Structure 1
Amino acid sequence: MFKAIWEFPENIQEALEIGAGITLHNQYENIDHILIAGMGGSAIGGDVVSVLENESLKVPFQVVRGYTCPSWVNENTLVICSSYSGNTEETLSALDHALEKEAQICGITTGGELAERLHSLHKDVVKIPAGLQPRAALAFSFVPMIKLLEKAGIISSSLDDWIQEAVHTLKEARKTYSKDRDTNPVYHLAERVKERIPVIYADSSTLGVAAVRLKGQLAENSKILAWYNELPELNHNEIVGWENNADIFQRLFVLWLMDRDDHERVQHRQEITRTLLQEAGVDQIAISVPGNLFQERFLHMIHYGDWLSYWCAILHGTDPSPVVKIAHLKQELADRK
């Protein structure tokens, strides 16, 4: 997993080459909705696209993690089936449902049944490199997806204008984040949170997706439970929960993912909520990363979180790569078909 996290910037560069080589054989016309059907590491790529292309997306864009498509899917919906292995049963089921609804369909995958079925249906398939854990293939999920949407004439992306600066930032950051010493702020934080349950908070309009990603990485890499929520919503319910059962607060550690582009009112909410948690005796830390553009800082925060999950695993003496319980679950499901 060390190598997979380290190579995130190189993966972005390779994914850009894949994106540049995409040739679409179908026309995508009158698209008024975009649906990404995927699970886990494949679905998060769609979430990342929703953030990076927030300004260029002019039609509703939704990521669906499940077996079916929403009722509104029709012939004017572009459904992108994203499955790293190509054998994700939920995504294959969503493909069936999208076909029933006569949606316009394409896919991003390394191969598997998804590629076979899409090819047989004469649908466009973007092939990405195999050999990675799906969660480590994030660059091969979001970059080709952006380029696919661009070549389909659905968005006009500014990705090429800023992505190389982001790659440079990631390459510089990993020199520090990869060191197993306290001078590495990520390693030092991992020492503090590895035996806690991290509670991750972020602004829904900026780093909410980075919080989702970090929660998943802590589960799969670190093998520890984590929780996340977003502001301002948590100020309308969850904030009240920091009252009873106070004896368990010492087992929790709040990670505030913060960015200078957080909504002005959310910044006030963060400050007030942090004060309330401090008064309740809750350990917490604010995390922010440098960068000129928001997109650059967003990818930087994801990289920071990936390293945090890695070091939590190592400090537990755990191999971050295997996901034994997922493999067991898939085998059990296969036996019940």
Structure 2
Amino acid sequence: MNSLDDVAAMKQKDPSGVLASTAMFPDQCQQAWEESQKVVFPDEYKKVKNIVVAGMGGSRFTPKTIGALYRNKIKVSYEICEDYTVPGYVNSDSLVILCSYSGTTEEVLAAGEDARKKGAKIAGIMSKKMDVPGYYFDPKFNPCGQPRIGGGYLLIGHLGLLKALGFVEAEDKEVTDAIAFAREIGKKYAAEVLTEQNPAKKLALLLKDKHPFIITAEFLKGFGNGFANQINETAKMISDYRYISELNHHLLEGLSHPDSIRQNGLFLFFLSHCYSEPVRKRFGITKDVVTKQQLAAEDIELTGPDKISQVLEAYTLSGFTTYYMAMLYDADPVAIPWVDYFKAQLAK
């Protein structure tokens, strides 16, 4: 597709309605927030000493985002599990949350069975009801049906669960204001807004045929993972995510080779006034090192008034951007043929 302003042509390439689902991200968040914090748990669930979240893909980066966002506020040890088994320390004092949009993810179900054997409390967050307490949602604001496009349910649903359990204090106004902010800023990214005035379309054009390095820090670490995932699955393009300050200890020396990185490498720095002062300083110096080595770099300045607003702002931007990237590649944004092939081979 040559033009991102031909809305009718885009909708023809999007028979499943990914664009509609993308625009409903704030609705997903609102529904999840209203429902998930009302979940009632047994008292013993509120007395655990650690939480392990089992999830893969879009069901992994969403709780990871909440973990990074509330890192200094979650009252117990909190870990993401991306394996068939849970960590060795899991026992009767642990809560294992099974996070799977479909409720059928192989690794998540296996981790759940391992947790059962170790006597852990188990909860779920998914669209398929299980025989354990949890948030089981009707994804009515995700008409395309693709789990990663329904990320609002898992993202804010996870926050609501942690609040219901008493492990995070999240004010209702803070969350609803953030959702309202995402809804408002999403209007700038809508398909009807011409490219000249549309930051998401401009970013899609910038990223086309590049190898992006998504650079975030602190409370945006989970989002960096999420954006890279969306680029892979929705846009069918390679991507990488890195964190400041960890990358400062090795990556800066790895930019000399191969030479092709100067043709297609692009560092995308997500900036925030909510970062700590040492981290903000590191962003500027990191960009200086990158550009001195003749690599392309671009800043994305988030404008939300607080951390949760900026997380939802970032996901709103990434959702629209990766949709427009798929259009540029004439790709069906919902299709995942190679993942489907892999699963079919695995099932034999």
TM-score of the two chains, using structure 1 as the length reference:
0.91
Kindly provide the CA deviation profile for residues 108-150 of structure 1, in whole angstroms up to 9, marking residues without a partner as x: 1111xxx4xx41xxx2132112462111222211322222222
1:270 CA displacement: 1.5
Residues of 1 paired with 2:288 and 2:234: CA distance?
31
1:29 CA displacement: 4.7
**Counterpart residue identity of residue 85, structure 1:** S
Does residue 1:69 correspond to 2:86, yes or no? yes
Residues of 1 paired with 2:43 and 2:342: CA distance?
37
Does residue 1:165 correspond to 2:177, yes or no? yes
Which one has more relative contact order, counting CA pairs under 8 Å at least 6 apart?
A: 2
1:8 CA displacement: 0.5
Does residue 1:175 correspond to 2:192, yes or no? no
Please identify, of 82-91 and 148-157, the stretch whose mean Cα deviation from structure 2 is larger.
Answer: 148-157
Aligned to 2:299: 286
Residues of 1 paired with 2:241 and 2:160: CA distance?
30
1:92 CA displacement: 0.7
**Counterpart residue identity of residue 193, structure 1:** L
Question: Is 1:207–1:259's contact at 8 Å kept on the other side of the alignment?
Answer: no
Question: Is 1:29–1:76's contact at 8 Å kept on the other side of the alignment?
Answer: no
1:180 CA displacement: 4.7
Question: Is 2:94–2:121's contact at 8 Å kept on the other side of the alignment?
Answer: yes
Q: How does 1:91-170 map to 2 (within 5 A)?
A: 91-111=108-128, 115=129, 118-119=130-131, 123-130=132-139, 132-158=145-171, 160-170=172-182
TM-score of the two chains, using structure 2 as the length reference:
0.89
Does residue 1:201 correspond to 2:206, yes or no? no
Please identify, of 188-197 and 243-252, the stretch whose mean Cα deviation from structure 2 is larger.
Answer: 243-252
Please identify, of 131-140 and 67-76, the stretch whose mean Cα deviation from structure 2 is larger.
Answer: 131-140
Aligned to 2:266: 253
Q: Secondary structure at the match of 2:80?
A: strand
Residues of 2 paired with 1:214 and 1:200: CA distance?
8
Match of 2:234 among 193, 196, 221: 221
Residues of 2 paired with 1:247 and 1:29: CA distance?
53
Aligned to 1:86: 103
**Counterpart residue identity of residue 186, structure 1:** A
Specify whether residues 180 and 328 from structure 1 end up closer, same or farther in structure 2 by C-alpha distance, changes over 3 A only: farther
Aligned to 1:3: 20
Question: Is 2:235–2:323's contact at 8 Å kept on the other side of the alignment?
Answer: yes
Aligned to 2:14: none
Residues of 2 paired with 1:301 and 1:126: CA distance?
24
Question: Is 1:53–1:157's contact at 8 Å kept on the other side of the alignment?
Answer: no
Please identify, of 99-108 and 142-151, the stretch whose mean Cα deviation from structure 2 is larger.
Answer: 142-151
1:241 CA displacement: 0.6
Residues of 2 paired with 1:199 and 1:52: CA distance?
21
Question: Is 1:26–1:124's contact at 8 Å kept on the other side of the alignment?
Answer: no
Q: Secondary structure at the match of 2:170?
A: coil
Unaligned runs of 5+ in 2: 1-17
**Counterpart residue identity of residue 39, structure 1:** M
Specify whether residues 187 and 78 from structure 1 end up closer, same or farther in structure 2 by C-alpha distance, changes over 3 A only: same
1:302 CA displacement: 1.6
Q: Secondary structure at the match of 1:255?
A: strand
Identity of aligned residues (%): 26
1:56 CA displacement: 2.8
Kindly provide the CA deviation profile for residues 199-255 of structure 1, in whole angstroms up to 9, marking residues without a partner as x: 11111x132111111100000110000011111111111110112323432111110
Specify whether residues 85 and 52 from structure 1 end up closer, same or farther in structure 2 by C-alpha distance, changes over 3 A only: same
What is the count of residue pairs matched by the alignment?
Answer: 325
Question: Is 2:302–2:310's contact at 8 Å kept on the other side of the alignment?
Answer: yes
Residues of 2 paired with 1:147 and 1:23: CA distance?
11
